[in-house]
Amino acid sequence: MRYLIVFLLTLQSFAQKQNELPYYEILDDTEVYTPATTAARMIDGLGFRYYWATEGLRLEDLAYKLGADSRTVAETIDHIYGLTKFFRNSVLKDNKDITTDELNFEAKRKQTLVNLKLVSDALKANNGAFDLASTEVPFWNLINGPLEDAVWHCGQVVMLRRASGNPFISNVSLFSGKVKNN
């Protein structure tokens, strides 16, 4: 009976880890500095910012917008998802995001983080030997286009959530990519 309980607790722990989203923190997982691993770290920084910009958003936050001509938080998140989908599909040849279904907020948040993690992992593979010239569009354009645009819009989500009364969590260190213990 004791072994059964240990087995069930181990199985439950494994299942919980499978449901965890990437980018709760940025892992210090490489000491190899190549153009590809540097680009991967930029993606990891976006993933970490997006994770915390969207963590704990309420329905009223998702519906919030500054004015009639501006995007809601939900529309901004839709745009960020589209940018990460474009980035993933431009970099990964055999593992594209072909989702066409309308996703709810939680599913879209998860898929956005997964898109970023898959690209980052691909860039880090083989000690960062990824050929940046092999992408469907010039990698430089991926950096100054969808990657930096997504970082820009993460900042908008943070600003909008603050304006709607749900500020960014204060124990997150954007400098270290870690959650500070209080």
pTM comes to: 0.87
Residue 34 forms part of a structural domain: no
Number of domains in the chain: 1
Residue 132 forms part of a structural domain: yes
> What was the pLDDT predicted at 15?
39
| Interval 128-140 mean pLDDT | 93
| Interval 147-154 mean pLDDT | 98
Q: Looking at the predicted structure, is the pLDDT value of residue 12 above 60?
A: no
Flag the least confident range among 5-9, 16-20, 54-58. 5-9
> What was the pLDDT predicted at 182?
61
Residue range(s) defining the domain that contains residue 94? 44-179
One-letter-per-residue 3-state SS of 135-169:
CCCCHHHHHHHHHHHHHHHHHHHHHHHHHCCCCCC
Give the largest Cα separation in the chain, rounded.
63
| Tokens found for residue 149 | 């645009």
| Interval 140-160 mean pLDDT | 97
Residue 29 forms part of a structural domain: no
Q: Looking at the predicted structure, is the pLDDT value of residue 7 above 90?
A: no
> What was the pLDDT predicted at 169?
86
Please report, for the domain that includes residue 56, its CATH number: 1.20.120
Give 3's pLDDT tier (boundaries 50, 70, 90).
Answer: very low
